[in-house]
Structure 1
Amino acid sequence: MRLKILQPVTALTLGAVIISFSSVFVRAAHVPSSVSAFYRVAFGAVFLVLACILKKEFKPRRLKNNLLAVLCGIVFGLDLWVWHLSILYVGPGLATILSNCQVFVLTLAGVFLFKEKIGWVFVLSLPMAFLGLFLIVGVDMGHLTRDHLIGIGFGLTTALFYSIFLLVLRQIQSDRNDFSLFYYLMVVSVASALFLGGKIYMSTDSFAIPDVITLVWLICLGLFSQTIAWVMISNALPKVNASFAGLILLLQPTLSFVWDVIFFDRITGPAGWAGVVVVLSAIYFGMTGKK
């Protein structure tokens, strides 16, 4: 019985670890972040179409779930777009912290929508995790300008979009009578690609891929981040408490910092590494504390 409970948590954790490499792929590609976001979902859609063909998952599906998947894709596209706007105003560090306020939204949804029971250890682990993130990024909250406040607004909006995306995806995947591991993620990816592609078309950015190296990194972004990681995450979401899922997904920004240090020689001090330990400890305490 315990093994059955641990399997979805393990899948969700591995998915978060894999998706944490997104920052590595994006930094290695020689295109703007908005363009890399488009190719992430576009190449992901290609891989998911191939998976649907191999698994013979192209068959009539419920209209409601198809519409929810399209909505989910648009919301995910909005999440990526608004996150990039937040980065322009406050930088990637604070923007990442703000976007991960999803853990609070998902906890509230878990308690009030799904009637999940959480204990005081879990409640205390949430501010502990955010303290760790602030230590990692080293944000100076003492100098907030009007642009910072705008960026904070965009960052919190990102968290809201990300939470809606996860909750709608959870709802789609929980319909066992119309369950399809690859099909609905494919619809989500196609809808996101169309939305982000439209934003790029109306902007000054270009769809051009400048070199083969960039193409390889963008394909990796679509294969690992959008396909493999999200297949694991979406398959686990209906089987894991929403509050726990939000906490586990904090592994993504934490490990992104670690990869930044390892692969791109990011300069960091004891406070940054202390932040990593604090976040990982908060996730451990939140997952193992008594309900």
Structure 2
Amino acid sequence: MDVVDATSTPPVTTADDNERTPRHGTAAPVVLVISGAACLSASAMFVKLADVTAGTAAFLRCALALAVLVPLLVHEVRRKGRLARPLQGYAVVAGIFLGVDYVMWTMSILDVGAAVATVLINVQVIAFPLLARIIDGTAISRRFLFTIPVMLAGIALSSGALEHGEGDGNPVRGAVLGVAAGIAYAAYLYLNRVSGERSPAHVVTPICISTGAAAVAAGVISLFTTGISLSMSPMSWGWVIALALLGQVVAWLLISTGSPKLAPNTSAALLLLQPVMAIGFGLIILRETPTAGQLVGCVVVIAAVWFSNRRPSPSSTSGS
């Protein structure tokens, strides 16, 4: 058995190292996160087709997801044991942030419109890596920092926020709620990542616990804001169930599996593809026609995400 010197100092990881060294081989995790983002991107379409209130959608997407997640949790616990108690606490707090995010974001739509709200919530691309930097000391590559303004500009274009205004409520309140939703989203992503890094064998358990906490948080907030209505048509129930299964269960299981194996800035950037893919779903399924500006924004986002995560070729780094 090899003996590890407990007094040895671990190597310091710099931003350049983070840029050049893949984490555990990034191809498969990248595919998982992108697939999860694709599932999340279909959520807006499901909510629109269900034609329900924001509070109803936020609460039911979590509550109904538990019908699938709880049996999966029981199976995982039997095979791999219980998740450590501290990580269970992290999952509860993460779920509260997620529930708050769902409600605040949908409320911000009423004030500033879906386009601007989409831009505001994507402050997660800054907040998520920043949390990892402040709490864990995880390096953020210079390439990513330089690309952030381009990413956000692309999101603004693709959402249509620069072309037209929606929302007829309080723009200041909507802006505050949108940014707060983005920060809450980043906190959920960070805490979810912590569980994945410290206990990679447990994938379902933290998602199930956080989904339950999100259902409670969204339910309580919605009762005092938008309300929750369970009187829906069979068609609406069908779309809400699809939202719960694809937009909650499948999406977060995929992201939770892939994200811990990637740098925080990489995960945050890949999740920016969500609104871009939402436009694709709208075009194909809802027959919505994006404007030229939105298409340009999609190209900008995709190019910026690719550039920010591109690995330098060996020849370009051999002389450094």
Match of 1:154 among 173, 177, 180: 177
* Cross-structure match for 2:54: 33
Q: Judging changes above 3 Å, is the alpha-carbon distance between structure 1 residues 194 and 258 closer, same or farther for their aligned structure 2 residues?
A: same
Q: Judging changes above 3 Å, is the alpha-carbon distance between structure 1 residues 34 and 274 closer, same or farther for their aligned structure 2 residues?
A: same
* Cross-structure match for 1:230: 252
Q: Which has the larger radius of gyration?
A: 2
* Residues matched between the structures, number: 290
* Cross-structure match for 1:246: 268
Check the 8 A contact 1:110/1:243 in 2, yes or no: no
* Cross-structure match for 1:188: 210
TM-score normalised over the length of structure 2 = 0.82
Q: Distance in 2 between matches of 1:142 and 1:91?
A: 10
Cα distance, 1:4 vs structure 2: 3.1
Q: Distance in 2 between matches of 1:129 and 1:123?
A: 10
Check the 8 A contact 2:103/2:222 in 1, yes or no: no
Segment of structure 1 superposing worse, 95-104 or 149-158 = 149-158
Cα deviations by residue, 1:95-124 (Å, 9 ceiling, x for unpaired): 111000110112323444444444443223
Match of 2:94 among 72, 77, 82: 72
Q: Judging changes above 3 Å, is the alpha-carbon distance between structure 1 residues 231 and 142 closer, same or farther for their aligned structure 2 residues?
A: closer
Segment of structure 1 superposing worse, 193-202 or 28-37 = 193-202
* Cross-structure match for 1:11: 32
Give the counterpart letter for 1:276 in structure 2: C
Give the counterpart letter for 2:237 in structure 1: L
Check the 8 A contact 1:209/1:215 in 2, yes or no: no
Which structure exhibits the higher relative contact order, with contacts defined as CA atoms closer than 8 Å and separated by 6 or more residues? 1
Check the 8 A contact 1:77/1:196 in 2, yes or no: yes
Cα distance, 1:94 vs structure 2: 0.5
Check the 8 A contact 1:29/1:217 in 2, yes or no: yes
Q: Judging changes above 3 Å, is the alpha-carbon distance between structure 1 residues 206 and 112 closer, same or farther for their aligned structure 2 residues?
A: closer
Check the 8 A contact 1:57/1:182 in 2, yes or no: no
Cα deviations by residue, 1:55-106 (Å, 9 ceiling, x for unpaired): 4449544321222111111111111111122111101110111000110112
Segment of structure 1 superposing worse, 189-198 or 110-119 = 110-119
Check the 8 A contact 2:83/2:205 in 1, yes or no: no
Check the 8 A contact 1:260/1:266 in 2, yes or no: yes
Q: Judging changes above 3 Å, is the alpha-carbon distance between structure 1 residues 268 and 60 closer, same or farther for their aligned structure 2 residues?
A: closer
| Gaps in structure 1 of 5+ consecutive residues | none
TM-score normalised over the length of structure 1 = 0.90
Check the 8 A contact 1:254/1:276 in 2, yes or no: yes
**Pair 1:87-2:109 in alignment:** yes
Q: Distance in 2 between matches of 1:205 and 1:243?
A: 36
Q: Distance in 2 between matches of 1:5 and 1:204?
A: 41
* Cross-structure match for 2:304: 282
Cα distance, 1:262 vs structure 2: 2.7
**Pair 1:260-2:292 in alignment:** no
Give the counterpart letter for 2:178 in structure 1: G
Check the 8 A contact 2:55/2:228 in 1, yes or no: no
Match of 1:103 among 125, 140, 143: 125
Segment of structure 1 superposing worse, 56-65 or 271-280 = 56-65
Q: Judging changes above 3 Å, is the alpha-carbon distance between structure 1 residues 289 and 150 closer, same or farther for their aligned structure 2 residues?
A: farther
Match of 1:23 among 17, 31, 44: 44
Cα distance, 1:219 vs structure 2: 1.3
> % of aligned pairs identical?
25
Q: Distance in 2 between matches of 1:89 and 1:108?
A: 28
* Cross-structure match for 1:210: 232
Cα distance, 1:289 vs structure 2: 4.8
**Secondary structure of the structure 2 residue equivalent to 1:65:** helix
**Secondary structure of the structure 2 residue equivalent to 1:227:** helix
RMSD in angstroms over aligned alpha carbons?
Answer: 2.6
Q: Distance in 2 between matches of 1:268 and 1:194?
A: 36
Cα deviations by residue, 1:200-255 (Å, 9 ceiling, x for unpaired): 33456343141221121111111111111101111222211111111000011111
Q: Which has more helix, going by share of residues?
A: 1
